[in-house]
Amino acid sequence: MSKSVAKKIQAIRGMNDLLPSDSPRWQFFEEKVRQLMQRYGFAEIRMPIVEQTALFARSIGEVTDIVEKEMYTFEDRNGDSLTLRPEGTASCVRAAMEHGLLYNQTQRLWYQGPMFRHERPQKGRYRQFHQVGVEAYGFEGPDIDAEVILLSARLWQELGLMEHVTLELNSLGSSEARAAYRDKLVAYFEQHREMLDEDSQRRLTSNPLRILDSKNPAMAEMLDNAPRLMDNLDEPSQAHFEQLKTMLDAAGIAYVINPRLVRGLDYYSRTVFEWTTTALGSQGTVCAGGRYDGLVEQLGGKPTPGVGFAMGIERLILLLETLDLVPDEALGGCDVYLLPMDDTATIAAMTLAEQLRSELPWLRMQLHCGGGSFKSRMKKADKSGAPFALLLGEDEIAEQAITLKALRDDQAQQRIPQSALAHTLSEQLTHSQ
Ligand code: HAM
């Protein structure tokens, strides 16, 4: 009989496992974000990962890369077309409308979680990736635009990233101003049709503003000379943009105006912005967003202004890692390894471990499990990364004591009464508390 070799099942391309060695960095980042949101008065919302396909088609736009090529869309058992969310804004608007959160009130919301886009995977670009997003509803003026930008800037400051990121800013104006500008732009591109690459030819009728976003060097000069949206803004959008700039100046936030920043999602109007870095190669946008004053109405709600952004967690973690900005304390996993020296001490060790966990809730302690020789127990203590081992054997039990052994330096080991243990550990492990 021939032996069949089972083919190993592997993860889906572009969808990554987060391994135990990675998760401390993520937890460090997520904890900073959670605190920051509280400090700025943003409340967390959690939306489902799957939505009706029509939600994304109607909000992000039928002729965008995301909707045309990148969505994970499938039919469920009822025959409904469902989609794994490619972003959070559409779901957040849907949820806020559905639960009456936009009725006669303002909202400041944030979320985090996985998003799905069928893009070509590369460093910093994945098919399942994670975003932290912020959305504010019901605010007309530019103060909230500045406030969300300041929130993101504070995160960069506190993570040590500020000098590695640049804020790019643009205004897309009102939808009417943009429609008039679109006609001007199409006329200009028609004059230079022979210079447009294939992708841009296709976009000329469907989404000509996106041509401005092209990175094709052969088109760079022609695009530089194209009419600028900034010069064609309606008066209220112009005023909104000027005020925003004044607010950012007052807050000491540097920015560069990028008149070609148009974003890949159709719902934006007025302010758009991106935080970019040159330290990650081609996937350098770590955070992006803007205003979307027409979206709630477009999805069937009362006209309600909206503004927000989303940051790519993988890209930010990569950046923190590249620049070595996660503090060692955040990476350390274990303070103490408690080991019964042989099997007769197992129950006493377990009892002591539980006692210590009640007394010192901050203590990160691993109790040795799985038996083995004394030598192999000590090896595991060493591998745990803990700076201290606590050894419990026959003598210690008889004396109601414990042996404290430093694993990372040559301090002499000491036997201390169990009653003094909590105090000694608190003194030795000040950074963990
Ligand atoms: P977005 O520009 O499509 O905007 O994505 C925001 C951020 O998510 C990007 O700047 C990037 O850091 C990260 N990102 C996007 N695609 C990938 C990917 N394939 N792999 C890794 N990271 C990725 C939005 O999603 C809007 N919903 C932002 C927003 C919120 N606008 C207003 N409110």
> Was 181 annotated as part of a binding site?
no
Closest CA to 83 of 98, 63, 68, 99: 68
Report d(CA 167, CA 327) in Å as an integer.
Answer: 25
> Was 268 annotated as part of a binding site?
yes
pTM: 0.93
> Was 34 annotated as part of a binding site?
no
- Residue 246, both tokens: 């004044």
> Was 415 annotated as part of a binding site?
no
Among 42, 108, 120, 129, say which to mutate for ligand 1: greatest number of ligand atoms within 8 Å of CB.
Answer: 129
Measured from the Cα of 287, ligand 1's closest atom is: 10
> Was 371 annotated as part of a binding site?
no
Q: How far is the CA of 261 from the centre of ligand 1 (A)?
A: 14
Domain that holds residue 403: 333-432
Same domain? 253 vs 155: yes
Asked whether residue 187 is assigned to any structural domain, the reply reads no
Q: What is the pLDDT at residue 3?
A: 58
Protein residue whose Cα sits closest to atom 15 of ligand 1: 312
Structure confidence by residue, pLDDT tens digits, 382-393: 999 999 999 999
Q: What is the CATH number of the domain that holds 65?
A: 3.30.930.10
Closest CA to 160 of 316, 30, 328, 24: 316
For residue 235, what are the contacts with CB-CB under 8 A and spacing of at least 6?
none
> Was 89 annotated as part of a binding site?
yes
Report d(CA 210, CA 177) in Å as an integer.
Answer: 16
Protein residue whose Cα sits closest to atom 21 of ligand 1: 125
Same domain? 303 vs 362: no
Protein residue whose Cα sits closest to atom 18 of ligand 1: 125
Pick from 287, 322, 357: which residue ends a domain?
A: 322
Among 45, 123, 285, 296, say which to mutate for ligand 1: greatest number of ligand atoms within 8 Å of CB.
Answer: 285
Mean pLDDT by 10 residues, the chain (433 residues): 77 97 95 98 98 97 92 98 98 98 97 98 97 98 98 98 98 91 94 92 88 90 92 95 98 96 92 97 96 97 98 98 90 92 97 97 97 97 96 97 95 95 94 68
Same domain? 265 vs 158: yes
Same domain? 295 vs 354: no
Same domain? 144 vs 264: yes
Same domain? 400 vs 312: no
Asked whether residue 161 is assigned to any structural domain, the reply reads yes
Structural domain count of the chain: 2
Q: What is the pLDDT at residue 2?
A: 54
Q: What is the CATH number of the domain that holds 381?
A: 3.40.50.800
Q: What is the dihedral of CA 238, 241, 246, 247, to 10 degrees?
A: 150
Pick from 322, 357, 384: which residue ends a domain?
A: 322
Closest CA to 110 of 79, 131, 126, 125: 131
Asked whether residue 2 is assigned to any structural domain, the reply reads no
Asked whether residue 80 is assigned to any structural domain, the reply reads yes
> Was 357 annotated as part of a binding site?
no
**Helices then strands (H, E): number in the chain?**
16, 16
Q: How far is the CA of 193 from the centre of ligand 1 (A)?
A: 31
Q: For residue 131, count other CB atoms closer than 10 A to its CB.
A: 21
> Was 126 annotated as part of a binding site?
no
Same domain? 388 vs 289: no
* Ligand 1 pocket, CB under 6 A: 87-89, 117, 119, 124-126, 129, 131, 133, 135, 264-265, 285-290, 308-312, 314-315
Strands 401-406 vs 388-392: parallel, antiparallel or unpaired: antiparallel
Q: How far is the CA of 303 from the centre of ligand 1 (A)?
A: 25
Protein residue whose Cα sits closest to atom 25 of ligand 1: 87
Residue 110 near residue 42 (C-beta atoms within 8 A): yes
Q: What is the pLDDT at residue 206?
A: 85
Same domain? 267 vs 402: no
Asked whether residue 184 is assigned to any structural domain, the reply reads no
Same domain? 279 vs 418: no
Residue 16 near residue 126 (C-beta atoms within 8 A): yes
Q: How far is the CA of 314 from the centre of ligand 1 (A)?
A: 11
Q: For residue 278, count other CB atoms closer than 10 A to its CB.
A: 9
Pick from 293, 322, 351: which residue ends a domain?
A: 322
Protein residue whose Cα sits closest to atom 13 of ligand 1: 312
Asked whether residue 134 is assigned to any structural domain, the reply reads yes
Q: How far is the CA of 213 from the centre of ligand 1 (A)?
A: 15
Same domain? 73 vs 144: yes
Which contacts of 37-43 are long-range, i.e. CB under 8 A and separated by 24 or more positions?
37/110, 37/134, 37/151, 40/108, 40/147, 40/151, 41/108, 42/108, 42/109, 42/110, 42/134, 42/136, 42/151, 43/107, 43/108, 43/109, 43/110
Q: What is the pLDDT at residue 213?
A: 84
Residue 135 near residue 109 (C-beta atoms within 8 A): yes
**107 phi and psi angles, rounded to 5 deg:** -140, 140
Asked whether residue 189 is assigned to any structural domain, the reply reads no
Q: What is the pLDDT at residue 78?
A: 96
Protein residue whose Cα sits closest to atom 14 of ligand 1: 312
Q: How far is the CA of 253 from the centre of ligand 1 (A)?
A: 22
Residue 272 near residue 255 (C-beta atoms within 8 A): no
Asked whether residue 423 is assigned to any structural domain, the reply reads yes
Q: Is the dihedral of CA 206, 212, 215, 217 positive or negative?
A: positive
Q: Which helix (H) or strand (E) holds 92?
A: helix 89-98
Same domain? 282 vs 365: no
Q: How far is the CA of 14 from the centre of ligand 1 (A)?
A: 16
Same domain? 407 vs 265: no
